[in-house]
Amino acid sequence: MVMPKPDLAPGVPLSAVDSPALLVDLTAFERNIATMMDFVRAQGIRLRAHGKSHKCGAIARFQQAAGAVGLCCQKVSEAEAFVAAGIGDVLVTNEVIDPVKLRRLARLSGRARIGICIDSALGLERLAEAAHEAEAPIDVYVEIDVGAARCGVLTTSDALSLIDRIGKAGTKLRYAGIQAYQGQAQHLRQPAQRRAAIDVAVRRVIDLRAAMAQRGLPIGIVTGAGTGTFYLETGSGVYDEIQPGSYIFMDRDYRDNEAAPDTPRFEHSLTLLTTVMSAQPAHVVVDAGHKAHAVDSGMPAIFGCPDLVYGNPSDEHGVIRRNGDGPLPRLGERLRLIPGHCDPTVNLHDWLIVHRGDEVVDIWPVEARGALT
């Protein structure tokens, strides 16, 4: 169930926040937003920020106001939350196969511009059926596999065949473009590895564009990219829109990517406040484990404490050890963890505590937390 909103008046210090709690450093967050907007404006490319990273209406509105053309999400229930939060343009970045969900999506079309991806004839057929209930046409993007070996059609001929079918699927569907996201490339550590992966993706897009041009088909929007590679898709000349999500927060896993020269840098704005609740001679135990942060991409770092290491997580505990000569934190002392992976970490929390320096300035609800369907 939803946890009660923390009872924190604006202006109270972080010491008044109960732990564990997920904090957003508003100054770092605003700089991250500005850095990305400056970049996309200079490059003349559209930003469609991915909402799966934050699931938060306040952040989505912030991104929209800063100049994002819209939001992405992965689930229909996330789209519902973002439309309810006032976002005017929402794209579901994968196929949805369940007819009930597709009808829910169609019902959103009267309230916002709605887009969705398909990668199968059955997906299109079910979408077209559901779209009978749509008040406005739905944007349809064909997802192509650009090397991640997850979703997406594999061949140019299959993509052409699907695009052809969209045109015949009725007036409630409108071919909008190509979804070309290489998820596996985002966390390749070396810039050269990421470049090689995105080179493959770009070639796939170029092949499809050429085949479409030959048939006289409009290409529409080519969209994709994440926080690890967006500077590559942007520079490719074939992408119109990028879909990064994590740039607003920067988790430990993205920090571990070696940065490419002359690319935008982002700051850690998301941290998990935690308290030492047991102290031992050679380690201490904090009150944040699997239920407070996600370790699927490795352990969190400890903000401002390079000499401390977090490990041995269990449901509600984590062990902090020394990684140098400095002292261990004391019983009752509080630390801030930089989550290993921001997206599933945010999904564990109902509220984001927004602060400037040591001062709490706002509390944002995570409206789409738990939005799985």
Among 137, 170, 264, 344, binds its own copies (CB under 8 A): 344
Tokens 């709690």 correspond to 21
Pick between residue 259 and residue 331 the one whose CB is nearest to its own copies. Answer: 331
In angstroms, rounded to a whole number, what is the distance separating the alpha carbons of residues 120 and 140?
12
**372 touches its own copies by CB under 8 A:** yes
**295 touches its own copies by CB under 8 A:** yes
**9 touches its own copies by CB under 8 A:** no
Among 164, 280, 304, 357, binds its own copies (CB under 8 A): 280
**18 touches its own copies by CB under 8 A:** yes
| Min CB(91)–its own copies separation in Å | 14
25-33, 235-243, 260-268, 312-320 -> range binding its own copies (CB under 8 A): 312-320
Among 341, 352, 354, 360, binds its own copies (CB under 8 A): 341
Helix ranges restricted to H, 99-142: 99-107, 121-130
In angstroms, rounded to a whole number, what is the distance separating the alpha carbons of residues 187 and 166?
34
> Identity (one letter) of the amino acid at 157?
S
| Min CB(262)–its own copies separation in Å | 29
Please report how the helices 156-167 and 191-214 are oriented relative to each other, as an axis angle in degrees rounded to 10: 50
Binding to its own copies, residues 91-130 (CB under 8 A): 94-98, 100-101, 119-120, 122-123
**19 touches its own copies by CB under 8 A:** yes
Question: Shortest CA distance to 26 belongs to which of 369, 357, 349, 365?
Answer: 357
Among 37, 66, 260, 279, binds its own copies (CB under 8 A): 279
Instruction: Classify 209 in phi/psi space as left (phi over 0), alpha (psi -120 to 50) or beta.
Output: alpha
| Min CB(44)–its own copies separation in Å | 29
Pick between residue 240 and residue 340 the one whose CB is nearest to its own copies. Answer: 340
Binding to its own copies, residues 193-212 (CB under 8 A): none
In angstroms, rounded to a whole number, what is the distance separating the alpha carbons of residues 255 and 300?
11
Q: Specify the length of the chain in residues.
A: 373
CA distances from 64 to 49, 146, 186 (A): 9, 28, 24
> Identity (one letter) of the amino acid at 219?
I
Residue 247, φ and ψ in degrees, nearest 5: -55, -25
Binding to its own copies, residues 37-96 (CB under 8 A): 52, 74-75, 77, 81, 94-96
60-68, 166-174, 211-219, 272-280 -> range binding its own copies (CB under 8 A): 272-280
DSSP class of residue 365 equals: E
**251 touches its own copies by CB under 8 A:** no
Among 31, 290, 322, 356, binds its own copies (CB under 8 A): 290
Residues linked to residue 70 through DSSP beta bridges, in sequence order: 48
How are beta strands 351-356 and 21-25 bridged, if at all?
Answer: parallel
Binding to its own copies, residues 157-196 (CB under 8 A): 183
